[in-house]
Amino acid sequence: MTTLNDVHQQFAEYFEVPVLKPYAYLLSKKLSEGHICLDLDAISEEQENLPGFYQIQENGAAPLTTVPLVGKNGNDSQPFVLFQNRLYLQRYYRYETSFLQHINDFLAAEKELLPERIALLEQQQELIRLLFPAGSNLRDGDDPADWQLAAAITGVLNNFTIITGGPGTGKTTTVAKLLAILYATDPALKVALAAPTGKAAARMAESLRNTTIPVDPAIAGKFQDLSPSTIHRLLKSIKNSPYFRYNKKNPLTYDVVIIDECSMIDVALFAKLLDAIHPQTRLILLGDKDQLASVEAGSLFGDLCQAQEKLNMFSGDRLQLINRFISDDQRKIPAAQAQTNYRHPLFEHLVELRRSHRFTGHTGIGKFSKALIRNDQPAIRSFFAAGADDQVVIDQSGNVALFEKFIAGYESFIREPDTRTALRKLNDQRVLVAVREGAQGLYAINRDIERYLHDHGKIRITAEFYENRPIILTRNYYEHGLFNGDTGIIRPDENGVLMAWFEDSNGELKGVLPGYLTLAETAFAMTIHKSQGSEFGQVLVVLPDAADVPILTRELLYTAVSRARTKVYVQGSAEVILAAAERFVARASGIAARFLAQAGDVKTGN
């Protein structure tokens, strides 16, 4: 008996159809890399990714059309589905199809409600002008148009709305103003807030509760009552099952569902989430289209944001409606954003916020992050010189003194006697890494930091859970109200018993015996993936020495840099940084093509 060590070959060899085997191998490999399907129009280019004994002779679907194990219309029970020159596993085809169908259901349900909603909006003119006042200060390069107002009105009118934007563009502020309008029209509104991680959900809720927008005290009270959760907790996980208590047959009972950090949601969870939301509900998806995609298969939020050729386009009537709520001409949506020939299903359902209130686009973190995501190599190179920028420091030599000076800052939270304050001080800085293994990996960097702090008398490592060890959870602990990605600190309670302390969504401390938290990692340094949904005052990004690390992409580096509020240090060579900016995530899916087919009245498989 021959033992196969290649899991993709094991999968391919399960099917006793020679012509299918190379396709099955590639499909399995692509799924492990985050793709939903296999694009058959360029399949011959994948020959180098196949073992030598597998061969694909031509592009296109022709070799698969007579294979009995490959379904052709999506309603078959075969393990593979061929659709629009893409090959899917049946399960992932159904996820994608279900996802698209639910969006179409939202779009159909909102049409009959539009006249009534426009009338309700007109009644709130005074509140809207109060929420979106004239005279905000513009900096050089700022887009003057009030895209926050456009996004809020879009969210009020539609049942399905996407709001995207980079750090500091005001996504949460926009949602606060949108909710203020909705609460003014219906004080009994039931609202759900959720995100892929508890940390991201809690941060969104905290921002909404602390909002300073001018609203009636009754509405402000509604914000205080908002209770965030993870998506899994919102849908009510069933133990030892991939299914949820809330689903198509038992939908959620909320009037509005707001989901943050949507770029982190994989295709399976997205499909199950939409399954559980009734088409009459308003669903608002928030996220940064340029951030990292989910760890599992799918980049659906990015696919939705890129499905249309241009963003922020409106019909002439919708443009006039939005501009009626804007008193000064400078902030009005320009006429160039009007589109007459619009058939795309997502038209008027996606708004990109284009003005950062945290960064400028021509200096510092804002300029550097923008240069990375656009692969603007001259702009990236302009940061390499010593002292080139006050907010961005590129250290190509891996300067030990710089590293040690940065990590010495952890003394601030260690010396803080108040645990709640210490947790907040911990977020004043963070070391971020791209990989787990190697000298620049998570495990080695955390050991380096621990050794430095121990040698300088800041911590005493006496056991696995030592005093002042920062930890990050790597799974959900529903029984303790703790979630994957939550960060805490090990400290003694009033009886001297070491506990893991976390801050809940209401800012209250929660202590758990560390022995209950079997899956937790040291968090002086954390992976860039785990940092999504977080913000830190200062960030030190440690990159691997090798430039040919596939995971090191422009999205990864953009995400790392944009976690910092005030300053970012990047320890990595020019070669590694420039190579990362050239490499981008392009996950195969049928989302954009199926929407385009729908716009052209071509069969979509729904």
Residue-wise pLDDT for 564-603, tens only, equals 989 999 999 999 999 999 888 777 788 888 888 887 754 4
Over 60: is that where the pLDDT of 417 sits?
A: yes
The response to whether 177 counts as a known ligand-binding position is no
Known binding residue 169? Answer is yes
pLDDT band, residue 546 (cuts 50/70/90): confident
Q: 140 falls in which pLDDT band (50, 70, 90)?
A: low
Q: Which two tokens stand for residue 137?
A: 């200060």
SS3 content of the chain, % helix, strand, coil (to 5): 40, 15, 45
pLDDT of 468 reads 94
For 358-387, how does the pLDDT look when each residue is reduced to its tens digit (9 = 90+)?
Answer: 666 567 888 898 899 899 999 999 999 888
Q: Give the DSSP per-residue string, 77-126.
A: -SSEEEETTEEEEHHHHHHHHHHHHHHHHHHHHHHTTHHHHHHHHHHTHH
Higher pLDDT among residues 119 and 481, named by residue: 119
Q: Which pLDDT belongs to residue 156? A: 94
pLDDT at 477: 83
Is 22 annotated in a binding site? The answer is no
pTM above 0.85, yes or no: yes
For residues 299 and 589, what is the distance between their CA atoms, to the nearest angstrom? Answer: 8
Angle at 326 between CA 323 and CA 330, to 5 degrees: 95
Q: What's residue 6's pLDDT?
A: 85
Please report the pLDDT score of residue 225 as a whole number: 84
pLDDT of amino acid 603: 42
Task: Provide the pLDDT for residue 362.
Answer: 61
Q: Across all residues in the chain, what is the average pLDDT? A: 87
Known binding residue 487? Answer is no
pLDDT, residue 48, reads 81
Is 97 within any annotated ligand binding site? Answer: no
Ranked by mean pLDDT, which of 57-66, 141-150, 376-385 comes out on top?
376-385
Is residue 605's pLDDT more than 70?
A: no
* Sheet containing 520-522, strands listed edge to edge, beginning at the edge strand earlier in sequence: 509-512, 498-503, 487-492, 470-473, 520-522
Q: Which two tokens stand for residue 529?
A: 């993936």
Query: Binding site annotation covers 167?
Result: yes
- Residue 168 counted as an annotated binding residue: yes
CB-based contacts of 23-31 (< 8 A; 24+ apart in sequence): 23/56, 23/63, 23/64, 23/80, 23/87, 24/80, 25/50, 25/51, 25/54, 26/50, 26/56, 27/80, 27/87, 27/88, 27/89, 30/588, 31/89, 31/92, 31/297
Top mean pLDDT of 122-136, 333-347, 410-424 is at 410-424
Question: Which pLDDT belongs to residue 289?
Answer: 83
Backbone torsions φ then ψ of 281, nearest 5 degrees: -80, 145
466 falls in which pLDDT band (50, 70, 90)? Answer: very high
Residue 491, C-beta contacts closer than 8 angstroms, at least 6 positions apart: 419, 422, 467, 468, 498, 499, 501
Over residues 264-291, mean pLDDT: 91
Average pLDDT estimate for 453-471: 92
CA 481 – CA 509 distance, rounded (Å): 12
pLDDT digits (tens, 9 = 90+) for 196-219: 877 778 778 878 888 888 888 888
pLDDT recorded at residue 93: 92
Task: Determine whether the annotation assigns residue 172 to a binding site.
Answer: yes
Find the mean pLDDT for residues 430-449. 93
Q: What structural domains does the chain harbor?
A: 7-90 (1.10.10.1020), 93-131+160-358 (3.40.50.300), 364-582 (3.40.50.300)
Model confidence pLDDT, tens digit, residues 162-180: 999 888 788 888 999 999 9
The C-alpha atoms of residue 366 and residue 391 are separated, in whole angstroms, by: 9
Query: Which pLDDT score is estimated for 378?
Result: 93
Q: What is the pLDDT of residues 65-119, one digit of tens each?
A: 888 898 887 777 889 999 988 999 999 999 999 999 999 999 999 999 999 999 9
**pLDDT score at 249:** 93
- Quick one: tokens of 469? 């060890």
Nearest to 257 by CA among 272, 271, 276: 276
pLDDT digit string, tens, across residues 499-528: 999 987 667 889 999 999 999 999 999 999
Mean pLDDT confidence for 473-488? 83
Say what the pLDDT of residue 395 is.
93
Residue 380: both structure tokens together: 């990236």
